[in-house]
Amino acid sequence: MAINVVLVEPEIPQNTGNIVRTCAAVGVNLHLIKPLGFSVEDRYLRRAGLDYWDKVNIKYYDNFNELRHKYKECTFYYSTTKAQNSYADVRYPEDCFIVFGKETAGLPEELLVENREWCIRIPMKDDIRSLNLSNSVAVIVYEALRQNNFAGLAAQGELTKYCW
């Protein structure tokens, strides 16, 4: 199963580095929408992603419309605290895209309005603004993988040789 994570104008290099590491660990593609709030040569970005950069399929786009046009036949989900649908209540098809906004502002309001039925949220307490971006990516990506029996990842039986 191919899952695609999209970061729209990410601002914090450590978050993107952590997301790179998650994508490497589970074989998820990463799409970065410019402008980025950092250089991809940033030492904090590299440190957070460690040596996983070469293990992730990363693509860059000048804007979100460029990505959307290229993959117009695919299903897109938009992660936002403003959605009615829980991330756990939707079915993630093969080759879907899960879109996340920048840390300080989320996704643009017009994008959310245009795609209301495809918006998903992570349930949390009302007095908390949001989870950290890299945590949100991990939560939703692992749900998509769980729904698809963690296809392509180490099975439980393969791990038992390392357990005590």
User: What residue spans define the domains of the chain?
Assistant: 3-162
Q: What pLDDT, on a 0 to 100 scale, did the predictor assign at position 155?
A: 62
Tell me how crowded residue 50 is: count the other CB atoms within 10 A of its CB: 13
Q: What pLDDT, on a 0 to 100 scale, did the predictor assign at position 42?
A: 61
Helix (H, G, I), strand (E, B) or coil at 39: coil
Cα end-to-end span (Å), the chain: 31
Q: What pLDDT, on a 0 to 100 scale, did the predictor assign at position 162?
A: 53
Tell me how crowded residue 100 is: count the other CB atoms within 10 A of its CB: 24
CA angle centred on 55, ends 39 and 133, rounded to 5°: 55
**Could you tell me how many residues make up the chain?**
164
**CATH class of this structure's domain 3-162:** alpha beta
Q: What pLDDT, on a 0 to 100 scale, did the predictor assign at position 156?
A: 55
Q: Which long-range contacts (CB under 8 A, 24 or more apart) does 71-78 make?
A: 71/4, 71/95, 71/97, 74/4, 75/118, 76/6, 76/115, 76/118, 77/118, 77/119, 77/120, 77/140, 78/107, 78/111, 78/112, 78/115, 78/118, 78/119, 78/120
Tell me the binding residues. 101, 122, 130
pTM confidence score? 0.90
Residues of the chain with pLDDT under 70: 1, 42-50, 155-164
Please name the residues in contact with 76: beta carbons below 8 A apart, sequence gap of 6 or more: 6, 68, 96, 97, 98, 99, 115, 118
Tell me the binding residues for S-adenosyl-L-methionine. 101, 122, 130
Q: How do strand 58-61 and strand 29-33 relate by DSSP bridges?
A: parallel
